[in-house]
Amino acid sequence: MSNSYLYVDLPIIDIYEPLQSSSLTTLCKSCKDWGFFHIINHEISKDLCNQLHSLSKLIFNLPSDTKLKLGPFSSIKSYTPHFIASPFFESLRVDGPNFYVSAKSSQDVLFEKQNSKFR
């Protein structure tokens, strides 16, 4: 059995510079074709990225019954379990225009208003 790898040239979006219409076209095509792109010069610290990764792991490792409190049959409807949208992933979203309020309401349900670490 041989190891074969698929190499894809993901578009690189440099957000230090203003986006050009060609960049937006490339970004749109990448989202449609692959669902991925590479952002550079975003100035988000590695520490914040690590914190977000830890939070994501914490949330998605919660028991299913806890996450379903935000699920499609809840009043918040911010959690989508496996097999609703895809057999490969689950998702948790925040909605605008007030993203903070949306995230806070999900936090209050998931952590029962007792975990202030993620404020």
Number of H helices and E strands in the chain, helices first, is: 4, 4
- Which of 6-20, 24-38, 50-64, 74-88 bottoms out in mean pLDDT, i.e. has the lowest? 6-20
The three-class DSSP label of residue 91 is strand
* Residue 3 confidence class, pLDDT cut points 50, 70, 90: low
Average pLDDT over residues 52-77: 92
At 108, the amino acid letter reads D
At 85, the amino acid letter reads A
Q: Model's pTM, two decimal places? A: 0.64
